[in-house]
Structure 1
Amino acid sequence: MTHMRTDTHITGLDRPRTWRDAAGSYALLPLRVFLGITFAYAAVDKLTDGAFMKSGGTGSIGETLDAARDSAAVPALVDLALQSPVGFGYAIALGELAVGLGILLGLFGRLAALGGALISLSLWLTVSWATTPYYYGNDLAYLMAWLPLVLAGTPYFSLDAAWRNRRQRSGGLR
């Protein structure tokens, strides 16, 4: 069976006509789920790690920033974070949580993806910049993974899609 019926999807978009179309339409869902879970988990891990949210000591955000300072592509970013390492740690953790939940729920999907891309970019330019070869560092790969979601948003199985569908049904969008 190579064809599917054309129906209005729960999201308000026309359902793809073939299985190949469906696969293409939903291709970003695994990436979205992976990034959402990973960023939400990273946030919870930081927020619950007693050693991480400290200005100094083994495993602390302060120690991590100190170690990254001299090898960062943009040391000024590290210097800014070092003014309040614990505040920076909370900002990163809460940002990761917002991004992770936002992309999982499809709530302002493009904005959530942009937030994830900016977090990944800042970590790549600071903490993982000195990783050689570059492909051993994960922050650049995360940055590249966020970009398709910045472009595509969360068109399926999302609050964004449900809101768009509601607006279409009420005549708000054509």
Structure 2
Amino acid sequence: MTHGMRSDTHTPHFGSGGDWRDTAVRYALLPLRIFLGVTFIYAGLDKLTDSAFMKDAGSGSIGDMMRAVRDSSAIPALVDLSLKNPVGFGYTIAFGELVVGIGTLLGLFARLAALGGALISLSLWLTVSWASDPYYYGNDLAYLMAWIPLVLAGAPLLSVDASLRSRRRQRAGGYR
């Protein structure tokens, strides 16, 4: 036995004082993973189903939003790149958010999904929310920071990645 976890089943054991802490540590990133996964799925679907957003121009369009932030962004060249094809950029962000959200929620290629989420958040922070004053009013920086623990740790529990890892270990053990 190791720190309150039965070694044969890996289920929580709350019998002694420190055991609940060990269990809490093991599951600490799960709420963050669920929040970011659901949020990014929602953000992607919201963009894809908003008829005003996926347009080059007009109220609420991706094109108008990017033109509005161009001069206040940290990297105007990045905004200029998006303005070459605002609708294509909008679809790229929306589908990227969907893929990242699904991968994060399922724990499938979790580190790669988290890296994608971090890169989306970084690009949005450097463009759309860069001029937020004070800086903490812009949520993209907070999302960027939230992705970092998942980039580092992945999804070690309740995930497709964990299931695949377990299956590989079982196979490797069976061939000895």
TM-score norm. by structure 2 comes to 0.91
Q: Cα offset for 1:75? A: 0.4
Mapping of residues 23-34 of structure 1, within 5 Å: 23-34=24-35
Larger Cα Rg: Structure 1 or Structure 2? 2
CA contact (8 A) 1:16 1:25 kept: no
In the alignment, what sits opposite 2:16?
Answer: none
Can you give the 5+ residue segments of structure 1 that lack an aligned partner in the other structure? none
In the alignment, the residues of structure 2 paired with residue 54 and residue 99 of structure 1 have an alpha-carbon distance, to the nearest angstrom, of 23
In the alignment, what sits opposite 1:163?
Answer: 164
In the alignment, what sits opposite 2:54?
Answer: 53
Q: Cα offset for 1:4? A: 4.0
CA contact (8 A) 2:4 2:22 kept: no
In the alignment, what sits opposite 1:6?
Answer: 6
Aligned Cα root-mean-square deviation (Å): 1.6
SS at match of 1:54: coil
Higher relative contact order (CA 8 A, sep 6+): 1
Can you give the 5+ residue segments of structure 2 that lack an aligned partner in the other structure? 14-18
**Runs of 4+ residues over 6 Å off in structure 1:** none
Q: Give me the identity figure in percent.
A: 69
In the alignment, what sits opposite 2:45?
Answer: 44
Which amino acid in structure 2 is aligned with residue 28 of structure 1?
L
In the alignment, what sits opposite 1:142?
Answer: 143
Moved more, 34-43 or 17-26: 17-26
In the alignment, the residues of structure 2 paired with residue 19 and residue 153 of structure 1 have an alpha-carbon distance, to the nearest angstrom, of 22
In the alignment, what sits opposite 2:68?
Answer: 67
CA contact (8 A) 1:36 1:100 kept: yes
